[in-house]
Every structure is written in structure tokens, then in C-alpha cells.
A and B are shown apart, each in its own frame.
Chain A
Amino acid sequence: MYSQGLIGADGRSEETQAFLDAFQKRIDAEEKIEPNDPMPEGYRRTLVRQIGQHAHSEIVGMLPEGNWITRAPSLRRKAALLAKVQDEGGHGLYLYSAAETLGVSRKQMTEELLDGRAKYSSIFNYPTLSWADIGTIGWLVDGAAIMNQIPLCRCSYGPYARAMIRVCKEESFHQRQGYEIVMTLAQGTTDQKAMAQDSLNRWWWPSIMMFGPHDADSQHSDQSMAWKIKRFTNDELRQKFIDATVPQAEYLGLTIPDPDLKWNEEKNGYDHGPIDWDEFWRVVKGHGPMAKDRVKARKKAWDDGAWVRDAALAHAEKRRARKMAAE
């Protein structure tokens, strides 16, 4: 999903060729770039955009799953879901911190999310309609995210790469937890199994789309690959995901909603049917079914919380003044 952060990225730089060559040499030597190191403006801008969008995705991603916290069907599931959604908030927090090392503030990034300048993963603009969606999101959406994120642990920018190590550990736990929810449903009553199948039907294609456009149509991959912000192409990652997921669905006795899905002996992987790119671009451009509601919910939380943040600042200021007066 996070490759979406590169859609429309402006990777231009105005530095001298010698500067760019020296930077590229460091990248090629697999050196990590750290916050105070010289870096091309395009590299910095690309990372701010990608890390910011990744952070926003974690925060907005709390909403569709949060939609089921109050209805989780057992206390064990309730506690696990609450902890999971809290993890996503934690990921947001350290990703914002990673982005801040590039000279942008969390407040600024939040304002850009709320006024629509910054994007987040469009997968979260689909609705969660049943308890099974909580399992499916863990299994497929977090599963697809991990495919994207594992290579990011080796991203050339140090703070992002290090943040991703912890994020990946937690996401991998979420993915197994999601799969276990779906497995419980698939082995449950007729209604539960139908709920699981319906959920897979709705989330399969959006999950496949999370890897972004086909390589031939992906404009910004080349520069990001050269800078080692991105290490695999969209299609490579999508193929890995499908190959890993198909046997998991078979084990559950669920049917992936793609009649063209079949094993290709020659490439040692699955072929899949055509992706609905009209839907992809519609949702990426902000016309997903829940897009308006998601931003509205984030804006409401931000606006309703303004007096709390103001009070915390005012109190800190008063304390400081009182302390100074006492000295």
C-alpha cells in the first residue's frame, strides 16, 4: 500500500551532478543516510511524502478496524483488537517521528492530511461490514502491507528503515492473528463460513491493488529504486503476495474471487485475472466508498480535541512561568 506514497512524487533535484553522483555512490555502497547527512532535495521530498503517507495510513487505518472494537464477539477478541488498533497508532507515532527527522512537523503533516493535500492508503476507504472483515484485514491487508514493508527495513534512509523493523514484527503478528480469526470462522457455523467468504470476496481485489499500478505504468519507481527507497517492483511484490496467499485460502476452504487464477508451472507462480484499474484510480483519487467519512472522522477528532491540546500547552506555559518566578 505504501508504494502509493510514490504516486505523483516529485523527485527532481537541483544539486550538481557531482553531488548527486557522490550521494548515489553512498547509496550503492548500502550506506545508511542519516538525518544530518547531505541529501538531494528530491530524495528528502520523496521520503517525507512516503513516510508521511505511511504514517497517515496507520492513523486512518485505525478507523475501519476501530469500527468493530465495541462489537467484538468475545472478550478475548475485544482485547486483541483493541491492542491491534493501538499498535497501528503506535506505528503512526514512530513514523511521524521518522518523518520529523527530515524537517517536517507532525502538526504540519496532520494538517495536510485533514485538508486533503496528503494521502493515505486507499484500502482504508473501503467499509468494514462484518466481524469477518477484522480477520480479513489482518490476513490480506496486513499481509500485503508486510510484503511492501519487509524490504523497507533495508531502505536507504536510516530512521525509516529502523522504524520499519519494529513495525514489521508487529504487522506480522497482526497478519497471523487475522488469519486465525478467519480460520475460526471458516471452521465455524454455516453463517460464520459465509461471513468469511463474503469478506474475502470484498477484500481480495482491493488487497491486490495495494501493490499499485503495473510496473509498465508506474512512473516513479525508477528513481526510488535507484535511491533504494524501494527495492522491488509493484508486480514482483504482488506476485509474491498472491503466491503466498492462494494456498492459505485453499487451506481454509475459501474461494478466491478470481476465475482466472491458475498455477503457471513455467513461471512457478500464479497467473491472475485482470485488475479493475478504473476502480483503483477512482479510489486512489479519493472517491472510495468511505473516503469522505474517514477524513471527516479524523477532522472531528482533531477539531474536538483542540481545546485539550490548547489546555496542555497553556498549563505547561503557566508552570514554566511559575517556576521562573520562584527562582
Chain B
Amino acid sequence: MALFDAVLELADDHLVLGHRLSEWCGHAPMLEEDLALPNMALDLIGTARGLYTYAGALEGAGRDEDDLAYLRGERAYRNLLLCERPNEDFAHTILRQFYFAAFMVPYWSAAARSEDETVRGIAGKAGKEMAYHVRHCGEWVVRLGDGTEESARRMKDAVEALHIYVGEMFEEAASAGIAALPSRAGMRGEWEATVDHVFGLAGLSRPVVPHPQTGGRAGVHGEALGHMLAEMQSVHRAHPGATW
């Protein structure tokens, strides 16, 4: 069951973050981003589907991707707090995606050498996608950080607001001691190097966080996740057993 829990954590990260990005569809600051944000959302949801399906197989209780996504409440969700943070503005959304992708690139790169064939398969595809997310979002962090007075202020606000959730990404949680998955703590060096490079170009700095927030892996979330899941699961739960 330990690998099941670790795969489920990863799946929840991707679905919740993908759902958040999908909320932008049709409302982005420019048409190009109305295409790019759903594109990244599709990558995340696609990865989540692969992970949920694998989690269901590992569990062996007959639960499929939709059972796992639609029939668990917020206390059962195991995603990082970072992933569930509301979109706020474009700066928050881009920074959240950049932070997450900057973690997932080295993570998937290590997972691509896993002893587990399914993990290797998912990692191979997702790693390429995440490298694009780092590039796209990193470019925006620079544009916004360097752009106008207002964009620089918004970018700094986003860093202040989201940096308190960064530490949770490096917690081993359910992946502790699982040979098939990389050590999460081991990603810190590469994550910091990626962020520092982009922040250097953007005129931003990594803040010191005296009181980091954590709890997502134990199902102790912020208040926003419950609303997100209520909306996401409403149709599915209103028609128990229906096929879509």
C-alpha cells in the first residue's frame, strides 16, 4: 500500500493544480495564454489520469481514475498545499506553476530511472512537459518581475504569498523508503538553482520563511480545496453509478 499512497499523493498534486489552471480557460490576459494555460492544465490532468489508474491497480480494490478523483473528500486528498492555492492573479498562477514544475523536472528525471516500469513510463512523458512549463512560466516570471512597477509589485506579492508552501514539496511523506520513487528531499538543490537563476533575471529574491505551512499530505488543507472539490465532483456525485 505504501507505493499506492505515494502515487496517490502525486496524482492529487497534478489533478488539483491542473484543475486550478483550467479555471483560467477563456479568462486569460491574452489569447496566447488562453491557449497556453489550458495546455499546461491538460498536461497535468493527463499525468494525473495515468497516476490514478496506476494507484487503482496497485490498490487492487477495483477503483478506477474517476473513483479516486471524484469520490474522495478533502480530508482524503493528499495534494501539496501549494497546488490548491487559488489563482488570485496571473502572477500568483504563473509563480505557483513555476515552483511546482521546477520541482517536478528533477523529480521526473530521477523517476525515469526507477525500477518500476509504469513509473518510468509516466516520468518520461511528464518530464518533457514539465521542462516546457519551467520555460514558459520562468519567462513570465522574468517579464513580470522586470516589466512595470505594478507587475514587479504583484510578482513580489506572489512570492511572499506562495513561498511559505515551498518546504512541503521536499517532505518525503508517503514516498519515504519507497525504492520505486526518488527522494523528494534530494530535489532541493536543483530546485533552488532553477529558481535562483530565474529570480536573478527577474530582480526577485527567495524570502526566508520562518513559519512554513504544511499539512496537505495528511489531508489537512486550506479552506479553498473543499470548494474546489465540491464544484469538481458535483455532477459525478449527483448521479451515482452513472457512465459518462
Count of chain B residues near A, Cβ 8 A: 49
Q: How far is the CA of A173 from the CA of B2 in the complex (A)?
A: 41
Name the contact of B148 in the complex, choosing from A62, A71, A82, A310 (C-beta under 8 A). A310
Q: List 25 A-B contacts (CB under 8 A).
A: A66-B27, A71-B232, A72-B235, A78-B45, A79-B42, A82-B22, A83-B42, A85-B25, A89-B35, A93-B31, A191-B242, A305-B29, A305-B90, A308-B90, A309-B30, A310-B147, A310-B151, A311-B143, A311-B150, A311-B151, A312-B143, A314-B146, A314-B148, A315-B142, A315-B147
Given A70-B19, A301-B28, A314-B151, 13 more A-B residue pairs with CB atoms under 8 Å apart are A73-B70, A73-B235, A74-B244, A79-B49, A82-B38, A83-B38, A189-B242, A192-B242, A304-B89, A307-B150, A307-B154, A308-B30, A315-B144
A73 to B240, CA, bound (A): 11
Query: Per-position contact with B for A289-309: 1 when CB-CB < 8 Å, else 0?
Result: 000000001001100111111
Cβ of B45 to closest chain A Cβ, rounded Å: 5
Chain B CB within 10 Å, residue with most, of A191, A192, A307 = A307
The minimal Cβ–Cβ distance linking A109 to chain B, given in whole angstroms, is 11
Residues of A within 8 Å of B, CB-based: how many? 47
Give the complex CA separation of A189 and B42 in angstroms.
Answer: 29
Q: Is A218 an interface residue (CB 8 A)?
A: no
Q: Which residues in A have their C-beta under 8 angstroms from that of B239?
A: 73, 189, 191-192
The answer to whether B232 touches A96, judged by C-beta atoms less than 8 angstroms apart, is no
Closest Cβ–Cβ distance, residue B66 to chain A (whole Å): 5
Smallest CB separation, A83 vs chain B (Å): 6
A96 CB to closest chain B CB, in angstroms?
7
Chain A positions within 8 Å of B19 at CB level? 70
A131 at the interface (CB under 8 A from B): yes
In the assembled complex, B231 has its CB within 8 A of some CB on chain A: yes
* B-side interface mostly: helix
Task: Check if A90 is an interface residue, CB within 8 A of chain B.
Answer: yes
Q: Is the CB of B25 within 8 A of A318?
A: no
- By the criterion CB–CB under 8 Å, are A85 and B38 in contact? yes
Contact B66 A75 (CB under 8 A): yes
B242–A82 touching, CB < 8 Å: no
Asked whether any CB of chain B lies closer than 8 Å to the CB of A167, the reply is no
Residues of A within 8 A of B (CB): 59, 62-63, 66, 69-79, 82-83, 85-86, 89-90, 92-93, 96, 106, 131, 184, 188-189, 191-192, 297, 300-301, 304-315, 318
B65 at the interface (CB under 8 A from A): yes
On whether A75 and B48 interact (CB within 8 A), knowing A62-B34, A188-B243, A192-B239, the answer reads: yes
